[in-house]
Amino acid sequence: MRTSFVLLACVLGAALVPGAGVSRAEVISSLWQTQKSQHFIIYHQGAPADYVTRLVDQAERYYESVTDRLGYRSFSFWSWDDRAKIFLYPDSASYLGDTRRAAWSGASVNVKTRTISTFIGQETFIDSMLPHEMAHIIFREFVGHRKDLPLWLDEGVAGVQEEGKLAERLTQAVNLIKRGVYIGLKDLSDIRDYSLVVPQVFYAESCSLVNFLLEKYGREKFLDFSRALRDKADWQDSLERCYQFRNLGEFESAWKEYYGRQNRVSGDDAGKEL
């Protein structure tokens, strides 16, 4: 559950960290050391060198994989002064004290200032939270910070980047579809508040919807869709036009058919198609 709660905290408005971001960068004192790469500046306070190196390497790798998977490879984000910032606090107490997040928070993101904050010892940060939060920033940097997009789109784009969890989430989605207990797309698109949903169901559906668009139709279509969103077109019209669905119902039917044909099992074999 802890991970679910952490993920719940990452979205857009709710994710803004009071006092974090550029203003914090401006008051960086000698406490913070930096390590820079092509797209990132890591701020840390004497963290183990091997950990910082691994963090930088993985962040650059995710930059490539996220932009590649979404079809954004030919666009350049984050270089020189626009590099994304990762604040690596020495421990939970200093992280919570500075970011003023809830006690269960393991990481937080400020999408607009491209700032991700966490602390050393956060087990799932590098493998899971980092690609998730990076995808939030990159997607929103491309399509803009409009407030009318459905939450499932933001969370689906971010969720499919968590390679270690994707198979399990797709298995959950298949089970929801086969048991007929999924949330219909219209209702799902109206969800703007996490407190109204079961996190596992919401994330499974969100990830499977975006994964369906990317896997079946490819990155070029997703890029077309993203461009329409960037140009402030209505998201539903754009989805229907780019993917040639007559309406949301047809999208839902295609999604159900795509996963309804798959046999996925839980546990160690989760995600393997039989």
Residues at the site binding Zn ion, with contacts judged by CB under 5 A:
10, 158
Q: How far apart are CA 238 and CA 144, in angstroms?
A: 15
- Which is nearer to Zn ion, 43 or 152 (by Cβ)? 152
* In the complex, minimum distance from the CB of residue 177 to Zn ion, in angstroms, rounded to a whole number: 22
* In the complex, minimum distance from the CB of residue 11 to Zn ion, in angstroms, rounded to a whole number: 5
Say which DSSP state 126 is in.
Answer: I
DSSP states along 201-262: HHHHHHHHHHHHHHHHH-HHHHHHHHHHHHTT--HHHHHHHHHT-SSHHHHHHHHHHHHHT-
Of 28, 39, 7, 9, the C-alpha closest to 114 is 39
- Which is nearer to Zn ion, 11 or 265 (by Cβ)? 11
Tokens at residue 111, please?
A: 């999408």
- Which is nearer to Zn ion, 12 or 248 (by Cβ)? 12
- Which is nearer to Zn ion, 10 or 59 (by Cβ)? 10
Q: How far apart are CA 7 and CA 204, in angstroms?
A: 13
- Which is nearer to Zn ion, 107 or 158 (by Cβ)? 158
**Beta strands at 115-119 and 84-89: parallel, antiparallel or unpaired:** parallel
Cβ atoms of 127 and 117 closer than 8 Å: no
**Beta strands at 107-110 and 115-119: parallel, antiparallel or unpaired:** antiparallel
* In the complex, minimum distance from the CB of residue 122 to Zn ion, in angstroms, rounded to a whole number: 16
Report which residue's Cβ sits closest to Zn ion.
Answer: 10
* In the complex, minimum distance from the CB of residue 108 to Zn ion, in angstroms, rounded to a whole number: 11
- Which is nearer to Zn ion, 139 or 235 (by Cβ)? 139
* In the complex, minimum distance from the CB of residue 246 to Zn ion, in angstroms, rounded to a whole number: 30
- Which is nearer to Zn ion, 133 or 264 (by Cβ)? 133
* In the complex, minimum distance from the CB of residue 10 to Zn ion, in angstroms, rounded to a whole number: 4
* In the complex, minimum distance from the CB of residue 42 to Zn ion, in angstroms, rounded to a whole number: 21
Cβ atoms of 20 and 110 closer than 8 Å: yes
Of 172, 174, 168, the C-alpha closest to 256 is 174
